[in-house]
Amino acid sequence: MFIPTSLGLFAGRQTGRPDGIEEQLIVEESRVVPVPPSEGFRLLAVHAHPDDESSKGAAMMAAYAHAGARVMVASCTGGERGDILNASAGELAHAHRDLAGLRRKEMAEAAAALGIEHRWIGFVDSGLPQGDPLPPLPFGSFATQSLERAAAPLVKLIREFRPQVMTTYDENGGYPHPDHIMTHRVSVEAFEAAADPARYPELGEPWEVSKLYYDRAFSPDRIRTLHYAMVENGIDSPYEERVKAFEAHPDEEMFRWVSPHETTTQIACSDFFEARDRALVAHRTQIDPEGFFFAVPTWVYEKYWPWEDYTLVTSRVEAPTPETDLFAGLR
Ligand SMILES: [Zn+2]
Q: 313: CA distance to ligand 1 center in Å?
A: 21
Q: How far is the CA of 330 from the centre of ligand 1 (A)?
A: 30
Binding-site residue set for Zn(2+): 49, 52, 180
For residue 11, the model assigns a pLDDT of 32
Q: What is the pLDDT of residues 211-229, one digit of tens each?
A: 999 999 888 889 999 999 9
Q: Which amino acid is at 279?
A: A
| Alpha carbon of 272 to ligand 1 centroid (Å) | 22
Distance, CA of 41 to CA of 144 (rounded, Å): 34
Look up the CATH architecture of domain 29-129+136-219+260-315.
Answer: 3-Layer(aba) Sandwich (3.40)
Cite the residue boundaries of each domain of the chain with CATH code 3.40.50.10320. Answer: 29-129+136-219+260-315
Q: Quote the pLDDT of residue 14.
A: 41
pLDDT category, 197, cuts 50, 70, 90? Answer: very high
Residue with the bigger pLDDT between 13 and 309: it is 309
- pLDDT for 143-195, tens place per residue? 999 999 999 999 999 999 999 999 999 998 877 899 999 999 999 999 999 99
pLDDT digits (tens, 9 = 90+) for 297-320: 999 999 999 999 999 999 999 999
Average of per-residue pLDDT values in the chain: 89
Annotated binding-site residues read: 49, 52, 180
pLDDT at 21: 53
Cα separation, 112 vs 118, whole angstroms: 10
- Ligand 1 center to 153 CA (angstroms): 19
pLDDT band at 260, cuts 50/70/90?
confident
Instruction: Evaluate if residue 288 carries a pLDDT over 90.
Output: no
Q: Write the DSSP string, 257-301.
A: TS--PPP-EEEE-GGGHHHHHHHHHH-TTT--TTSGGGSS-HHHH
Question: What is the pLDDT at residue 93?
Answer: 86
Report whether 271 contacts 64 (CB < 8 A): no
Ligand 1 centre from 58 Cα, in Å?
Answer: 14
Please state the φ and ψ torsions of residue 119, each to the nearest 5 degrees: -135, 145
Residues 226 and 303: beta-carbon distance below 8 Å: no
151 C-alpha to ligand 1 centroid (Å): 18
Q: Which helix (H) or strand (E) holds 248?
A: helix 240-248
Lowest model confidence (mean pLDDT) among 231-235, 260-264, 272-276? 260-264
Half-sphere exposure of 267 (CA within 13 A, CB side): 30
d(CA 92, CA 95): 5
d(CA 38, ligand 1 centre) in Å:
28
CA of 121 to the centre of ligand 1 (A): 14
